[in-house]
Amino acid sequence: MQLEHRVAIITGAGRGIGQAIALAYAKEGAKLALVARTLSELEETAQQAKALGAEVLVIPTDIADQTQVDEMVRRTVDHYVTVDILVNNAGIHGPVGPLQDTDISHWIRAFQVNVFGTVLCCQAVLPVMLQQNRGKIINMTGGGVGLVSGTAYRTAYNASKAAIIRLTEDLPLELADKNIQVNVMGPGSHRTRLVEEMLEGVAAAGVTQRFEEVRQQMFEQVVAKFGTSAAVSMEQATGLAVFLGSDASGNLSGRCFESFDDFLALPPKIPEIMASDTYTLRRVEPK
């Protein structure tokens, strides 16, 4: 029970990866505050988590709305007294297609949810974590290949996720000696509703063939770098989320991990990782 008695807020918990993380946390003994916009989906996740023995609080919230986010954290603290873990999983894909053809309002909405939603949730929980001198924040990058290569026709989504990676690197510098760790994870490529919406957008934009060519090149780069496919199991993704939320991750902070990384081998390497640029967003200089 790696997360026993820990209070975890999980956004985007109504379906897909967020739901899978919530159930994995339930199995590990966490007390859950489940957050998403759709109440019916949250209730379904809550029912499954309760069947696993978890205490669950359901809070419908639009994370792009500061008032709703502040109220969500207030309700969590009123119910559980504290917040130990924040999983910023909620996100949308945004516009798909050539940049010149995309609607800027859809770009703005992608950043409102993916970036500003993450920032608002961090802002709201940090006073609680600072008061108790303890906390874990887990942010979410793209489908497991955020640091490998770019992808055509997904500029809004990819740019928003790159911003989250940099936020994750910067925030720990402000939290030095506060015992609050902030990391980002790529959950891998899973057939979630977000992916279905992305593929529908690709088809609607008429760029299916070119997109598939680019995606194949991206997957080949993943295999070359990691020796594995980008399509990891959901258990690998939830395992990484449990690791980053638990004491096993120690003072590991400001780093980006993919679900196909061997996170079980990371603990002995944490001092070395924290003393280097490993698992960070950096420019590669030519030799």
Tens-place pLDDT, residues 228-243: 555 567 888 899 999 9
Neighbours of 170 (CB within 10 A): 11
Predicted local confidence at residue 204, as pLDDT? 59
When pLDDT is cut at 50, 70 and 90, the band that residue 145 belongs to is very low
Taking only the tens place, the pLDDT of each residue in 4-13 is 999 999 999 9
Percent of residues, the chain, with pLDDT higher than 90: 64
DSSP 8-state class, residue 161: H
Between residues 282 and 61, the one the model is more confident about? 61
Q: Is the pLDDT assigned to residue 24 strictly greater than 70? A: yes
Higher pLDDT pick, 146 / 260: 260
Give one word for 164, left, alpha or beta, with left for phi > 0 and alpha for psi -120 to 50. Answer: alpha
pLDDT tens-place string over residues 85-109: 999 999 888 888 889 988 999 999 9
Amino acid 151: pLDDT: 74
Active-site residues, by number, are: 157
What's the pLDDT score for residue 190?
A: 46
Of residues 211 and 12, more confidently modeled: 12
Q: What is the mean pLDDT of the chain?
A: 87
Over residues 136-159, mean pLDDT: 77
- Averaged pLDDT, 175-202: 72
Which pLDDT belongs to residue 153?
79
Q: Which CATH superfamily is domain 7-274 in?
A: NAD(P)-binding Rossmann-like Domain (3.40.50.720)
CB within 8 Å of 192: residues ≥ 6 apart = 15, 16, 17
Q: Which two tokens stand for residue 24?
A: 């994995």
> Mean of the pLDDT values across residues 156-173?
93
Contacts of range 110-114, beta carbons closer than 8 Å, 24 or more positions apart = 110/156, 110/157, 110/160, 111/156, 111/159, 111/160, 111/163, 112/64, 113/63, 113/64, 114/157, 114/160, 114/161, 114/163, 114/164
pLDDT digits (tens, 9 = 90+) for 27-67: 999 999 999 999 999 999 999 999 999 999 999 999 999 99
Other CB atoms within a 10 A radius of the CB of residue 13 amount to 32
Using 50, 70 and 90 to split pLDDT, how confident is the model at 284? confident
Ordered by start, the domain boundaries in the chain are 7-274
115-124, pLDDT tens digit by residue?
999 999 999 9
